[in-house]
Amino acid sequence: FQRLPHILETVGKEGFAKQINLCVPAMSADFSAWLQGILAYMAMVDYPYPASFLKPLPAWPIKEACKFFNQTTYSDDSLIVAMAKLSNLYQNYAHEVKCINTSSFAYQGLGNAGWNYQSCTEMVFPSCNVANTDFFPPSTWDVAAYSKSCHKQYGILPRGDWLTVQYGGRAAGLNLSGHSNIIFSNGKLDPWSAGGVLETSNPDIEVILIEDGAHHLDLRRSHPLDPASVIEARRQERNIIS
């Protein structure tokens, strides 16, 4: 990510777009944001078998992506090749497109635009990247910029405190004393688990952590390649519900 601006300056937007096979030339900041996005999405759907929840992807897509970046040093040219392979893995694993569309993260029919609206209203989810500890470049949570973006897209402003007012949030502690009969299951491979309920002292709440689970893997249909941790999670869920 640090070398991306230099690479685009060296080869030019048009030359870079041709080597990556982009549909439209992109600025370094825009392409960097898209790369961060597809890596986050691949982590989210890091399933142990081929799946097409967001896009057609192979089993363990993060492991496949890491194969493109297994050298200790890279020339600019070899780094461009690695980024091209990563882009193609996410956007064109099924060989269905002619070029890489950096404005797309998922199937249009998935309905993920609904999540964008929800995250601009009730489900505001602050996020940032910390220098020297995160994989991605440093970034801060800018509530003013976020609000401006939401207003531009939907004509609304986020209700940043709605979750806390409605459910108590983390400030109310982890006992969730006002709630019962809920199973909070989180896959440890799922980036969204960072915002999940991972522990509680409330005996009427169940928390299940899935060691090898990505996003809602336990709620997908069973598969011969399911890891033991998700099989056990489903067993626990069935017993709790019954």
Q: Give yes or no for residue 11 having a pLDDT over 80.
A: yes
* CA 8 – CA 5 distance, rounded (Å): 5
Q: How many CB atoms lie within 10 A of CB 158?
A: 19
pLDDT band at 109 (very low <50, low <70, confident <90, very high): low
Q: What burial class does residue 77 get, using C-beta atoms within 10 Å of its C-beta: 0-12 exposed, 13-18 middle, 19+ buried?
A: exposed
CB 100 within 8 A of CB 91: yes
238: tokens are 């069935």
Bigger pLDDT: 110 or 181?
181
Residue 164 pLDDT: 78
- What value does the mean pLDDT take over residues 19-42? 91
Mind listing the pLDDT tens digit for each residue in 63-106?
999 999 998 889 999 999 999 999 999 999 999 899 999 988 88
Q: Give yes or no for residue 220 having a pLDDT over 90.
A: yes
Residue 85 pLDDT: 96
- What value does the mean pLDDT take over residues 104-122? 79
Bigger pLDDT: 126 or 60?
60
Mind listing the pLDDT tens digit for each residue in 134-184?
888 888 999 999 999 999 999 999 988 888 788 776 655 566 777 889 999
Residue 174 pLDDT: 62
Mind listing the pLDDT tens digit for each residue in 31-64?
999 999 999 999 999 999 999 999 999 999 999 9
Residue 129 pLDDT: 87
Closest CA to 128 of 146, 144, 142: 142
